[in-house]
Amino acid sequence: MTHSVENAMAMMTRTTRWSHWETLFWLASLALLPLFPNKALLFSQIAIMGLFALSLDLILGYAGIVSLGHAAFFGVGAYVAGLMAKHGWGDPTLGLLAAASGAALIGFVTSFLLLRGSDLTRLMVTLGIALMLFEAANRFASITGGADGLQGMMVKPVLGLFSFDLFGKTAYLYSLTILFLLLILARRIVYSPFGLSLRAVKANSLRAGAIGISSATRLVAIYTISAAYAGVAGALSAQTTQLVSLDVLDFHRSADVMLVLVIGGVGWLYGGIIGAIIFSLMQDWLAGITPQYWEFWIGLVLVVLVLVGHGRLQSYARMLIHAITHKGRVAHPDQRGTS
Amino acid sequence: MTAALTTHDLVKNFGGLVATDHVSLSIAKGARHALIGPNGAGKTTLINLLTGVLQPTSGRIQLMGEDVTAISQHSRVKRGLVRTFQINQIFADLTPLQSLGLAISERHGHGSDWWRVAGTDQGVVAEAVETLTQFGLGDVLHIPTHHLPYGKQRLLEIALAFACKPQVLLLDEPAAGVPEEERHDIIRILKSLPADVTIVLIEHDMELVFSYADRITVLVNGGILTEGSVDEIAKDQRVRTVYLGEDAHD
Amino acid sequence: MVTILFDGIAYGMLLFVLACGLTVTMGLMNFINLSHGAFALAGGYVTAALTQKAGLPFLLCLPLAFLFSAVLGMLAEKLLYRRLYQRSHLDQVLFTIGIVFMTVAAVDYLIGSQQQSIHLPAWLRVRLDLLGGSIGVYRLFIIVLCGILALAIQWLLSHTRFGSQLRASVDDPRVARGLGIPVNQVFAVTFALGCGLAGLGGALGADLLGMDPTFPIKFMIYFLIVVTVGGTSGIMGTFFAALLLGIADVAGKYYVPQIGAFVIYALMVAVLILRPQGLFTRGGSR
């Protein structure tokens, strides 16, 4: 009996363990800096986009909320950090904390609007809130700088030690560290009983209620966490580029982050990061060919992904990764614990 | 002694349609109480009212003497009122062990823990394994539920409710759609449920009702036609005309 | 005041014609389609090309715009959209956003980013003084034409065989199929008609709303508002929602220009929270 319980516990926690390829992945991302020192700014943009996509995954992949307005939280975070840096509170850590709190507050308040209603209603409400924030930022141009952007940000050195350099070295290490820490936290969250209950609510909220799980509190919690993550991504973007303009709240940003996540894989912690890497490579390559019409190719990728079936593509990719890292052992795709 | 579950003058209207018509029920502790009635008698609406999926137009519901009319579905579950579904409602991509683990953690108040990995609480896993073994699911602990054969899914449907440690368990056609050879498993499980758990059985299958229930309430057109012991109901001429008669035509 | 109300009604009527196809595909068939504006764009561009380049009279171009968008819609439905009816809402969102992005970039590439202008006949350019306000004849023309269209659509849905087939197909496709209704064809025709109306709306609205490659994105939110606020009660809900939005938008931009758009979005969110199924719902829903 005890043996079978221990066995069951081992089986249940098996897929949640830190694997070799994850270590490799993070070491490789560190190694990029000395290998391509002049690309550090680009790398930090990728890390930030990866974090933003991870934040979307928390609600879309793990809780099933389709949002067309996730840029709202990115934008709030960016403006909070940007305004603080402009008005003398340029400490990056403080900026991140304030941005996370600000975005979380707005996420918490607006999450109650998403509890009732269908996918379509949620889509509209998230879109509507992002548009309202965009309009507000546009109207209060005296504070936000409007379309021209926020002028005169002064970002202090990270932890008072590492000042931001022109090549983006500090920017990259700083963004990568935050991404790593928040990924570890997200790992904890999605593999915990709380994370499991989110998947239950997503799969069947009727039954989740019937075994005593309150869908509403779970959705409010994860939406707030996700908003905080997006706020941090926005703040990182503001601090590393010293630039915030209306663009941070644009509809395009909400649509792009969805594409990033879908490319990399929905409901998988590394999906957002992988997606950000592929997206940036694509952008780099395609924008070189037709810089003005880059949008066309985004659209084409979306259409093709849906027609081919993004889930299928990714489960093959993941089986491949699994086969490489766990040589010889055959894994059933369903046991990877995602849908 | 207070009853386990009572309703007082429960009414539910949908627009002009009266789906539940002044239903006053009293279900004794430890009873095996069946609710029967032809299609459209309002059984589904009644179960939705009892569990809090729907709010009544008027009337009250008491669980163990406490008024639960206004509280939410999941709070009623925490107070011991649990149901199963006529159509399986299981978590397709979770395993049976994960599904039961959720229900058990939630009952222990650890369902929102976010700092520890699910499956590391030995007490929860041990209880889940024990319950699943008892329900004949010990050999499929780690298989995603949508890969299980229908009969096993049906057992899981009931196990999931049982893992909530109900005081009152509402079983909505537990044997619906189950092939003959697997029905025995379900009936055996039903008969082995602890005697102190109050069971409310909503069922079409008269054979199961008469062999399992000790008391029967007959619903017609949203209201109670009659209530009595198994023998009384079997002899009741009105029940034969509205229910058994119709059943014979099917 | 009269002018604002009048402009608002004309704007609302236009929105109705533009969005009523969506009411059926999105509101009733539950297919999330964000690319509806692309078909309006097609109608607007065809009309611009025909009046400017080919010199065809405006009135003749209107049915042509309808036809062009309808055929385009029919092809798109057959080749692409049909595969998505049964897919997840996420897939539908991704796919139709993809279509919008492709349309915007392709039109920009092929024709250019400048605004298209439509050559209106002189008699439509006149302004009248009426009830103490100044009223454009073109807006009056739009109101009359769209009003007739609204009545025609309502009649089509409630009094024809096609209308009852559509209602049956939307309510329960499986049962409808069992009754021998060619559900796929009914949906295809509906989709094509909706796209055609959007094209007509694009042609009519090009002069008022402005027609450039970003039209499908700029007006996406307006279509969505009309459909979701209109609810699932059928075409009349859409009609009133469109009028309401048209008047509110024009009045808002006139009286409180600083926060005009903000008010619209806030109203939409408020309606969706208070009435998640829209302002006008079918009675007796559970």
Distance CA C51, CA C81 (A): 31
Which one of B78, B91, B137, B168 would you mutate to disrupt binding with A, by most A Cβ within 10 Å of its Cβ? B91
Look at residue A64 and tell me if it is in a domain: yes
Residue C233 banded pLDDT, cuts 50, 70, 90: low
Which one of A142, A279, A303 would you mutate to disrupt binding with C, by most C Cβ within 10 Å of its Cβ? A303
Residue span of the structural domain in which A156 resides = 19-308
| Average pLDDT value for residue range B59-77 | 89
Look at residue A188 and tell me if it is in a domain: yes
Q: Are strands B215-220 and B223-229 parallel, antiparallel or unpaired?
A: antiparallel
Look at residue A337 and tell me if it is in a domain: no
- Above 80 in pLDDT, residue A324? no
Of A56-65, A132-141, B155-164, the range with the lowest mean pLDDT is: A132-141
| Average pLDDT value for residue range A59-65 | 91
Q: Which residue has the tokens 């939280």?
A: A73
Distance CA C184, CA B17 (A): 34
Domains of chain B by start residue, with CATH: 84-165 (3.40.50.300)
Q: Which two tokens stand for residue B62?
A: 């008491």
- pLDDT of the residue at A313: 67
- pLDDT of the residue at A287: 73
Contacts of B15 in chain C (CB under 8 A): 283-284
- Count other C-beta atoms under 10 Å from residue C195's C-beta: 32
Chain-centre distance for alpha carbon B12: 20
| Average pLDDT value for residue range B143-169 | 90
Interface touch A117/C106, C-beta < 8 Å: no
Tell me the per-residue pLDDT of A269-316, one tens digit each, with 9 for 90 and over: 999 999 999 998 888 887 777 767 778 888 888 888 888 876 666 676
Tell me the per-residue pLDDT of C179-215, one tens digit each, with 9 for 90 and over: 888 888 888 898 899 999 999 988 888 888 888 888 8
- Above 60 in pLDDT, residue A133? yes
Check: CB of residue B124 under 8 Å from CB of residue B108.
Answer: yes
- pLDDT of the residue at A90: 81
Look at residue A332 and tell me if it is in a domain: no
- pLDDT of the residue at B244: 55
Query: What distances in angstroms separate CA C61 from CA B176, C66, C147, one per listed residue?
Result: 61, 9, 19
Residue A109 banded pLDDT, cuts 50, 70, 90: very high
A181 CA: distance to closest CA in chain B (Å): 14
- Count other C-beta atoms under 10 Å from residue B246's C-beta: 12
The answer to whether residue A124 neighbours chain C at the CB level (below 8 Å) is: yes
The answer to whether residue A113 neighbours chain C at the CB level (below 8 Å) is: yes
3-state secondary structure of B89: coil
Helix (H), strand (E) counts: chain A: 15, 0
Tell me the per-residue pLDDT of B105-137, one tens digit each, with 9 for 90 and over: 988 888 888 888 888 888 888 889 889 988 888
Distance CA B89, CA A124 (A): 29
- pLDDT of the residue at A237: 94
A306 CA: distance to closest CA in chain C (Å): 6
- What residues of chain A, 142 to 171, have a C-beta less than 8 Å from chain B? none
- B243 - beta bridge partners? none
Contacts of C282 in chain B (CB under 8 A): none
Interface touch A301/C109, C-beta < 8 Å: no
Check: CB of residue C33 under 8 Å from CB of residue C209.
Answer: no
Interface touch C109/A118, C-beta < 8 Å: no
Q: In sequence order, which residues have a C-beta less than 8 Å from that of residue A144 and are 6 or more positions away?
A: A79, A83, A137, A138, A150, A244, A246
Residue A229 banded pLDDT, cuts 50, 70, 90: very high
- pLDDT of the residue at B168: 92
- pLDDT of the residue at A26: 93
Contacts of C257 in chain A (CB under 8 A): none
Chain-centre distance for alpha carbon B179: 20
Amino acid of residue B58: S
- Above 60 in pLDDT, residue A338? no
Interface touch C283/B17, C-beta < 8 Å: no
Q: Which two tokens stand for residue B172?
A: 């909505």
- pLDDT of the residue at C182: 87
Check: CB of residue B79 under 8 Å from CB of residue B68.
Answer: yes
Residue of B nearest to C284 (CA): B15
Q: Which residues of A234-244 are buried (b: 16+ CB within 10 A; e: fewer)?
A: bbbbbbbbbbb
Residue A339 banded pLDDT, cuts 50, 70, 90: very low
Give the full edge-to-edge strand order of the sheet including B17-27. Answer: B17-27, B5-14, B58-63, B66-67
Amino acid of residue A132: M
Check: CB of residue A167 under 8 Å from CB of residue A36.
Answer: no
Residue of C nearest to B53 (CA): C286
Q: Please state the domain count of chain A.
A: 1
Closest to B207 measured CA to CA, from B36, B45, B47: B36
Tell me the per-residue pLDDT of A241-257, one tens digit each, with 9 for 90 and over: 888 988 899 888 998 99
Residue B170 banded pLDDT, cuts 50, 70, 90: very high
Residue of C nearest to A126 (CA): C269
- pLDDT of the residue at A44: 93
The answer to whether residue C143 neighbours chain A at the CB level (below 8 Å) is: no
Task: Give the highest mean pLDDT range of A103-107, B94-98, C42-46.
Answer: A103-107
Radius of gyration of chain A (CA): 20
Percent of chain A with pLDDT over 90: 39
Tell me the per-residue pLDDT of B86-110, one tens digit each, with 9 for 90 and over: 888 989 888 999 999 999 998 888 8
Check: CB of residue B81 under 8 Å from CB of residue B53.
Answer: no
Contacts of B16 in chain C (CB under 8 A): 284
Chain-centre distance for alpha carbon A300: 22
Check: CB of residue C162 under 8 Å from CB of residue C156.
Answer: yes
- pLDDT of the residue at C286: 32
Q: What is the DSSP track for C167-233? A: HHHHH-HHHHHHTT--HHHHHHHHHHHHHHHHHHHHHHHHHHH-B-TTHHHHTHHHHHHHHHHHTTS
- pLDDT of the residue at A103: 95
Percent of chain C with pLDDT over 90: 10
Q: Higher-confidence residue: A324 or B171?
A: B171
Q: Higher-confidence residue: A189 or A12?
A: A189
Check: CB of residue A202 under 8 Å from CB of residue A209.
Answer: no
Check: CB of residue B111 under 8 Å from CB of residue B105.
Answer: yes
From A1, A192, A211, residue closest to B114, measured CB to CB: A192
Q: Higher-confidence residue: A250 or C269?
A: A250
Interface touch C286/B14, C-beta < 8 Å: yes
Return mean pLDDT, chain B. 85
Distance CA C101, CA C77 (A): 18
Contacts of A132 in chain C (CB under 8 A): 262, 265-266, 269
Closest to C45 measured CA to CA, from C118, C121, C102: C118
At the topology level, CATH places domain C2-274 in ABC transporter involved in vitamin B12 uptake, BtuC (1.10.3470)
Distance CA C235, CA C233 (A): 7
Percent of chain B with pLDDT over 90: 12
Distance CA C223, CA B131 (A): 52
Q: Are strands C133-136 and C127-130 parallel, antiparallel or unpaired?
A: antiparallel
The answer to whether residue A9 neighbours chain B at the CB level (below 8 Å) is: yes
**Structural domain boundaries of chain C?**
2-274
Interface touch C108/A301, C-beta < 8 Å: no
Query: What distances in angstroms separate CA A285 from CA A273, A278, B100, one per listed residue?
Result: 18, 11, 49
Closest to C7 measured CA to CA, from C112, C139, C148: C139
Residue A2 banded pLDDT, cuts 50, 70, 90: low
Tell me the per-residue pLDDT of C110-138, one tens digit each, with 9 for 90 and over: 887 787 777 777 777 777 776 666 777 88
- pLDDT of the residue at A325: 60
Q: Is C180 exposed, middle or buried (0-12, 13-18, 19+ CB in 10 A)?
A: exposed
Residue A329 banded pLDDT, cuts 50, 70, 90: very low
Dihedral sign of CA atoms A34, A36, A42, A46 in order: negative
Contacts of A251 in chain C (CB under 8 A): 217
Distance CA B91, CA B81 (A): 20
Which one of A192, A222, A266, A334 would you mutate to disrupt binding with B, by most B Cβ within 10 Å of its Cβ? A192
The answer to whether residue C180 neighbours chain B at the CB level (below 8 Å) is: no
- What residues of chain C, 30 to 49, have a C-beta less than 8 Å from chain A? 30, 32
- Above 90 in pLDDT, residue A222? yes
Residue C284 banded pLDDT, cuts 50, 70, 90: very low
Dihedral sign of CA atoms C268, C270, C271, C276 in order: positive
Q: In sequence order, which residues have a C-beta less than 8 Å from that of residue A31 and are 6 or more positions away?
A: none
Residue of C nearest to B12 (CA): C286
- What residues of chain C, 225 to 284, have a C-beta less than 8 Å from chain B? 283-284
- Above 50 in pLDDT, residue C283? no
Interface touch A303/C95, C-beta < 8 Å: yes
Q: Could you tell me the CATH number of the domain that includes residue A235? A: 1.10.3470
The answer to whether residue A251 neighbours chain C at the CB level (below 8 Å) is: yes
The answer to whether residue A4 neighbours chain B at the CB level (below 8 Å) is: yes
Please count the residue pairs, one from chain A and one from chain B, whose beta carbons lie less than 8 angstroms apart: 144
Q: Which residue has the tokens 């809900």?
A: C237
Q: What is the DSSP letter of B240?
A: I
Return mean pLDDT, chain C. 83
Percent of chain A with pLDDT over 70: 90
The answer to whether residue A118 neighbours chain B at the CB level (below 8 Å) is: no
